[in-house]
Amino acid sequence: MVWFLFFMLSCITRHDYLYGQYLVNQKVEVFAIGSPHQKSSWTIEPNIRICSDTKVTSFRASQAVRYWEKLGYKFGSVFTDNSPFCMNARFGEILITLPESGFGDHHMASTTTYTRIDSDTIVKAKISILPKYARKERVLEHEIGHALGWAHYSQKYHMMHPNWFLGG
């Protein structure tokens, strides 16, 4: 009887760490005031360029992009840049790179978006991520959300929650 219980528990927890499973349409009952806020948006389909130093693989970035594609967003290509000068985002891309000096240890990653002043559309974005969080579930999805213009949203289990333990 005990072996059956262990078998059932292992089947349940086996899926907790798979990157490919996103329960986008699952309803979760929580209380939150307001709704998510998108500060700005892209007018083109951004490419995703990954600096090889970050330890983010093209496969992992593609999985994160797929999360947002399921929500209706479109992207260009996802590729890795092996150049030692891979640190500045170019027009029309989301760059995934290492953080610059002064990046606090209390952050897993950070995103900066660059917008046009006259139209508030995003022209480029830069995701800075520490290599030890490159494969951590939801971190890249959350940061791509910021690169798409989404602000933090303090609803429990929401992808854009500011606290990783509570969903974001």
**Model confidence pLDDT, tens digit, residues 52-108:** 988 899 999 999 999 999 999 999 999 999 998 898 999 999 999 988 877 766 788
- Mean pLDDT value of segment 103-129: 88
Mean pLDDT score of the chain, rounded to an integer?
79
DSSP 32-47: -SS---B--EESS--E
Look at the pTM and tell me if it is higher than 0.75: yes
Rounded average pLDDT over 155-165: 83
Kindly tell me if the per-residue pLDDT of 28 is higher than 80.
Answer: no
CA distances from 98 to 1, 21, 77 (A): 50, 27, 20
3-state secondary structure of 117: coil
